[in-house]
Amino acid sequence: MCGGTRGIGRAVAEELARRGASVIVFARDAAAMDRVCAELPGSGHAWLAADFHDNEAVRSGAAAEVRDRGPIQILINNTGGPPGGPIADAAPEAFVAAFRAHLVNNQILAQTLIPGMTAGGYGRIVNIVSTSVREPIAGLGVSNTVRAAVAGWAKTLAGELARFGITVNNVLPGYTKTGRLDAIIAGRAAAAGRSAEELAREIAAQIPAGRFAEAWEVAAAVGFLASPAAGYITGTSLPVDGGRIAAL
């Protein structure tokens, strides 16, 4: 479970633990991961520390975990998004950094875990991405670009792995109550000289459901896609967005 110490990532860790999984939380903050593991329901939980801007640390950490614990059947790719801003103003290096933190790490983790999934005839790879896969979000130029690359990667991988009993799917959260959403709204409000509370109400009013999602609602979708019940669903991008995406 990548990025499982807060927000959607923590909610997913809790959902999987409630479903009976032994969860390995993979993030940077050892103290935070230790607290999360202690609070998760069930048993057998562990944590693994690495900076996701360091691809080799991710590779070596995941490989050591498989070597020590054996095959891992569920991979949840979840990494914090890059800083916001217009795409025309983004430095080329920002795209490279985001690509490495997201798609390259996804590839490293998948390659590390796929052999065990294949041997066991069961695997679930779920990528927590963004609704920008369907409709780019203004002011998130680098994120829009990299998220779309992840979706293309996942669709391709799904076609290659389906015959081994391994599914690959994306969950596309809409506006969800997390620290990242608070930061995005605060930044936009400051730029426009408005209050964050006023802007949040305005954004929520544009969503058919009339509200932001709770993190557990996104986690419920991830939990289903990681379960045996979702064995015939692969290569999909599932929005959890309160109806915000206008496209079919």
Pinpoint the residues of the chain covered by CATH 3.40.50.720: 7-174+215-240
169: number of CA atoms within 13 Å, CB side?
23
pLDDT, one tens digit per residue, over 138-160 is 889 999 999 999 999 999 999 99
pLDDT confidence of residue 100:
96
pLDDT confidence of residue 203:
94
Backbone angles phi, psi at 106, to 5 degrees: -55, -45
**pLDDT of residue 20 exceeding 80:** yes
pLDDT, one tens digit per residue, over 82-106 is 888 999 999 999 999 999 999 999 9
- Tell me what the pLDDT averaged over the chain comes to: 95
H helices present in 130-192, as ranges: 141-161, 179-192
Residue 11 banded pLDDT, cuts 50, 70, 90: very high
H helices present in 19-91, as ranges: 30-39, 55-69
211-220: average pLDDT: 97
pLDDT confidence of residue 54:
95
Backbone angles phi, psi at 6, to 5 degrees: -160, 170
DSSP state of 73: -
pLDDT confidence of residue 206:
94
Percent above pLDDT 90 for the chain: 90
**pLDDT of residue 248 exceeding 80:** no
Contact of 225 with 169, CB cutoff 8 Å = yes
Residue 15 banded pLDDT, cuts 50, 70, 90: very high
Pick the CATH number of 7-174+215-240 from 3.40.50.720, 2.60.40.420, 3.40.640.10, 1.25.40.10: 3.40.50.720
Q: 42: which 2 tokens?
A: 């069930």
**pLDDT of residue 73 exceeding 80:** yes
pLDDT, one tens digit per residue, over 159-213 is 999 999 999 999 999 999 998 889 889 988 998 999 999 999 999 999 999 999 9
Contact of 172 with 210, CB cutoff 8 Å = no
CA separation for the pair 38, 194 (Å, rounded): 41
5-16: average pLDDT: 96
